[in-house]
Structures are given as structure tokens and as C-alpha cells.
A = this chain, B = another copy of it.
């Protein structure tokens, strides 16, 4: 990407973030509902801090620091950058105000504009451009987190406030679930080095893929309701041992944000407020325990990371353009949309059903623990803490969610969360050995 294109991309990302906080009051942007989540104001400041720290301060000796305290307040987890404000107390920072944080964004954006204009001839420009690109991808990650975090925060308010006004109209019928045979063999996964990727996606490497089958679509709320009604949450033998402990400790009986009225009607808290459940939509906000128990109940299993990545690569090479598009299209609304067959098809009756929803709506839990690929090297310097140090007790999620920014996804993308996490837009697709 040349400097002008990068500048345009940078400002596009920056504007998108600010659009996301536009519906929020200063109070909304202040609150933090759990240690895993952050206030919207913090996301605004931290995503700015990254540019200031790793680009402006690193490459511009004359950079006028906006506020020296911000280095302590808005560092997330970079040990190499020194001590920082404790994560669970981010919600207590009433100062700086939202207005000051917006001023910080403005000042940083102005410096970045100048910097981008001047530095494209700098001998280290490729390194600088890579860092700015990383910063943009980082901010895009925070765009999704900002939405999942504010959803959780608003859900703690018994008045069930809305983030966005009106629930979008969606179809109410999902295609039938069907198995798609996937042939194994020697394959390559991981990022091939063309274009941007996080360090954890590489190097591209050979694996032996085993024959297996995948469901053509994500598991729906209707599918999951059957599991609930069949006593899924009361049957220990369906659960991982840790999962069953989790069920009992939390008295879990349905996914996060589901509520059943006294009359038995189910509703779901969304960014559009509380809504009746659409039984065609993908089930969302499952943790790994729930996803795994559902798969066991269904006589199937969670897919592996390599299975989903290979399936995606394959679908993107399909000769049939309609199938290609159906595989990776995503709604980009604030709530997951039901699966849809390739355009203009009312049935999917051939021997090889289309793989749908590989790149959107909800992240797919895998049974693959998040670890280093063979030959993995963290990026040099503090930025090397971005991914590698989290490679323990987390699981890989593939695909993307409806909240994931459009240009942020690629088949090698490795999202990861701990097994108990529920507040992300996480669901599953079934797999089985054949």
C-alpha cells in the first residue's frame, strides 16, 4: 500500500471507530462491566495510544506528547512499555473525560496526517508502514470489542437500554443442515506472506489433513433450543469436566442474553435492545463448553482449526461464483443473520451442498488450542507481545462475526478466547470424522 492509500485507510478506520461511539453518552462510554471488558472511552484512547507510542514517539523525535500520563493509563498489556493502569480499574478513570479523549484522537490524527505525508521517503518507511497497518488492524479489532463490551455493559442495566434503534428485518427460515464431505491429504495452512497478517498466522506450513465432514451452515438457535429442551444443561455426561463445573457454578441453563418469560417465551438481549428470538439465526454467545456439549449431544464434534481453514480456502476457489460468494458473505449488522443459500437457489439439492457462513455472523469455536505454528517467530520489540504470550489455555475461533470489520478478515485469521468466554459473538459449526 502506498503512503496515500495508507493514509486514506488510516482515516477510514479512525472515522469508523468514532461512528461506533456516536450513539453513546459520556456515561455509556465510561462503564466497565467486568475485568475482561473495557469502557468505550478506553478503547478510543488505547487505539490512539498505540499509534502515538509505536509510531509517533518511536520515529518522530519532536513529537509533542499529548499527555504524559496517558502512557500509563492506556497501555493495555505491553510489559516492555512499563507499568500500566490495572485492567479491572479502567472503568474508574472518569478523567480524562470523553471530550479530552476525543481531543487526543484529533491531535494524534493530525500528527499522523503530517507524519504520513512526510515519512514516505524515510529509509525505514516499509517498517513504519507495516506498523501503521498493524495499528489499523489493531483498531479494527477494538471496534468489534467495543461493541461486544458495550453490549455486555448495557445488558447489566435492568432497563435493557438500546445501542441502536431498530432491529433489522431478517429472514426467518434457515437452510436445512447437511453434511459436506471434506477430503484430506497434505495441505498448507497459515498466511502466505502476501498482504497483512498478524505474526500468529505464520509461517505458512504443511499439515496432514484427515478426511472429515462439516455441516454446511452454523448451528441455529432452533438447533440449540432442542439441546436445551432435551435437558442438555442437566446432563453431565455431555460436558467436558471443566464445562460441567462451569454449569454448576453459574447455574447455567441457556446461552448468555437469553431470557425465558413466565409464559415460556424466549427473548434475547441485542444491541437493538431485547427482542424475541429468531429461530433461524445462528446461535451466538456460546462459550467453548456449551459449543462442545452441544456437539456431543448432536453426535458430532467441534471442527479443528485446520479443517475450517482448508474448507474456507477451498470454498474461495469454487468455480461457481454464487457458491463462492455465499461462503464468505457476511451481514455486517449488529446481530447475526440467518444463513442463505447461494443467490437464486431455493434448494441446495446436489450431492455437494454449499458451505455457508464461513466468514461471518458468529465466530466458530474449534477444538484447537491456540498455540504457535511450527517456525512461529513473534515480531521484534514490544509489539511481539501482541499475540505470542497468550498462547496458553485459549482456543482458536475461525471465521468472523457480523461485527467484524469487512476488510479485517482473511482465511488464516486466528481469533482466540478462553473456553469460558461468552460475551463475544461466538457460535459453532458441527464436524465429524468419516
Q: Interface on A for B, CB 8 Å cutoff? A: 25-31, 33, 41, 69, 72-73, 77, 79-80, 85, 89, 91-95, 97-98, 153-154, 156-159, 161, 186, 205-208, 210, 212, 236-237, 239-244, 288-289, 292, 301, 304, 367-369, 371-372, 374-375, 385, 389-393, 419, 433
A298 to chain B, nearest CB (A): 16
A240–B389 touching, CB < 8 Å? yes
Q: Inside 8 A of A186's CB, which chain B residues have their CB?
A: 186, 208
Quick one: copies of this chain in the complex?
Answer: 4
A419–B392 touching, CB < 8 Å? yes
A95–B242 touching, CB < 8 Å? no
A224 to B416, CA, bound (A): 31
Q: Inside 8 A of A77's CB, which chain B residues have their CB?
A: 241
A95–B159 touching, CB < 8 Å? yes
B239–A389 touching, CB < 8 Å? yes
Q: Inside 8 A of A154's CB, which chain B residues have their CB?
A: 94
Q: Name the contact of A208 in the complex, choosing from B91, B206, B243, B289 (C-beta under 8 A).
A: B206
Q: Name the contact of A27 in the complex, choosing from B26, B159, B369, B371 (C-beta under 8 A).
A: B26
A267 to B41, CA, bound (A): 30
A46 to chain B, nearest CB (A): 15
Q: Name the contact of A79 in the complex, choosing from B79, B244, B374 (C-beta under 8 A).
A: B244
Can you give 15 contacting A-B residue pairs, CB < 8 Å? A25-B26, A25-B94, A25-B95, A72-B158, A77-B241, A79-B236, A89-B156, A92-B156, A94-B154, A240-B390, A241-B390, A242-B393, A244-B389, A292-B392, A367-B371
B157–A375 touching, CB < 8 Å? no
Q: Inside 8 A of A161's CB, which chain B residues have their CB?
A: 94-95
- Name the residue in A27, A79, A367 with the highest tally of chain B Cβ atoms < 10 Å from its Cβ: A27
Q: Name the contact of A153 in the complex, choosing from B92, B156, B292, B392 (C-beta under 8 A).
A: B92
A30–B94 touching, CB < 8 Å? yes
A98 to chain B, nearest CB (A): 7
Q: Inside 8 A of A28's CB, which chain B residues have their CB?
A: 94-95
A153–B73 touching, CB < 8 Å? no
A97–B27 touching, CB < 8 Å? yes
Q: Inside 8 A of A210's CB, which chain B residues have their CB?
A: 205-206, 374-375
A30–B27 touching, CB < 8 Å? yes
A115 to chain B, nearest CB (A): 27
A417 to chain B, nearest CB (A): 12
Q: Inside 8 A of A158's CB, which chain B residues have their CB?
A: 69, 72-73, 85
A92 to B154, CA, bound (A): 8
Q: Inside 8 A of A392's CB, which chain B residues have their CB?
A: 240-243, 288-289, 292, 419
Closest 7 pairs between A and B when the two form their complex, measured CB to CB: A369-B369, A79-B236, A27-B94, A210-B374, A28-B94, A26-B26, A92-B156
A27–B91 touching, CB < 8 Å? no
A340 to chain B, nearest CB (A): 31
Contact status of A368 and B371, CB under 8 A, knowing A30-B30, A31-B94, A80-B237: yes
Q: Inside 8 A of A91's CB, which chain B residues have their CB?
A: 31, 91
A391–B240 touching, CB < 8 Å? yes
Q: Inside 8 A of A26's CB, which chain B residues have their CB?
A: 25-27, 30
Q: Inside 8 A of A69's CB, which chain B residues have their CB?
A: 158-159
A433 to B304, CA, bound (A): 23
A353 to chain B, nearest CB (A): 23
Q: Inside 8 A of A369's CB, which chain B residues have their CB?
A: 368-369, 371
A156 to B93, CA, bound (A): 8
Chain B, Cβ-Cβ closest to A434: B375
